[in-house]
């Protein structure tokens, strides 16, 4: 089985409940959630005039390949009522593959590791709770070190 890390975010409706519901949908769709960060309330990134986010990260074990995992995450987002709006705009739920084993993928619609994760404390903060020593497969630095570099 492969190990993946998924970022979870919500800034519309009951943000905490949305994040927990997303985790349950991951489980009910066959993913084994092995670790879960606490919830972090964070400022919006990109577009500032919107509600604050709740962000989390989970570690999952799965037998499905990355492309299929991405399809599953998009299905869960749609099932939860996510609407396509402006990029970085408000959303009921946002699910992103941050890391998948130690692989690197750069395809149309799928980039692993997540291409902006090293610039976002709202991603690295939760991820560092559950995988501080995990090494970024491109930047060759741990999640903890990447977070420290943003905060410094």
Confidence at residue 44, expressed as pLDDT on a 0 to 100 scale: 81
Global pTM value: 0.94
Q: Which of 15, 17, 84, 96 is catalytic?
A: 96
Domains of the chain plus CATH, in order, are: 2-151 (3.30.70.560)
Q: What is the pLDDT of residues 111-124, one digit of tens each?
A: 999 999 999 999 99
Positive or negative CA dihedral for 111, 113, 115, 117? Answer: positive
Q: Which of 15, 36, 94, 120 is catalytic?
A: 94
96 is catalytic: yes
Burial class (CB in 10 A: 0-12, 13-18, 19+), 69: buried
User: What DSSP string runs through 64-133?
Assistant: S-HHHHHHHHHHHHHHTT----STT---S-EEEEEEETT--EEETTEEES-TTGGG-HHHHHHHHHH-TT
94 is catalytic: yes
Q: Which of 27, 82, 108, 121 is catalytic?
A: 82
Confidence at residue 84, expressed as pLDDT on a 0 to 100 scale: 72
Q: What is the pLDDT of residues 99-109, one digit of tens each?
A: 999 999 999 89
Q: What is the pLDDT of residues 14-69, one digit of tens each?
A: 999 999 999 999 999 999 999 999 999 998 877 778 889 999 999 999 999 999 99
91 is catalytic: yes
84 is catalytic: no
Mean pLDDT of the chain: 92
Q: Which of 15, 36, 91, 120 is catalytic?
A: 91
């Amino acid at each position: 089985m492969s190990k993946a890390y998924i970022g979870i975010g919500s800034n519309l409706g009951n943000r905490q409940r949305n994040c927990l519901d997303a985790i349950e949908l991951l489980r009910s769709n066959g993913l084994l959630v092995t670790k879960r960060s606490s919830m972090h309330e964070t400022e919006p990134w990109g577009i500032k005039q919107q509600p604050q986010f709740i962000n989390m990260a989970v570690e999952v074990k799965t037998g499905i390949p990355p492309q299929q995992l991405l399809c599953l995450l998009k299905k869960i987002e749609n099932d939860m009522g996510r609407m396509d709006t402006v990029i970085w705009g408000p959303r009921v739920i946002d699910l992103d593959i941050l890391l998948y084993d130690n692989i690197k993928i750069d395809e149309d619609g799928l980039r692993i590791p997540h291409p902006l994760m090293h610039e976002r404390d709202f991603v690295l903060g939760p991820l560092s709770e559950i995988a501080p020593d995990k090494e970024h497969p491109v930047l060759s630095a741990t999640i903890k070190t990447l977070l420290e570099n943003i905060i410094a």
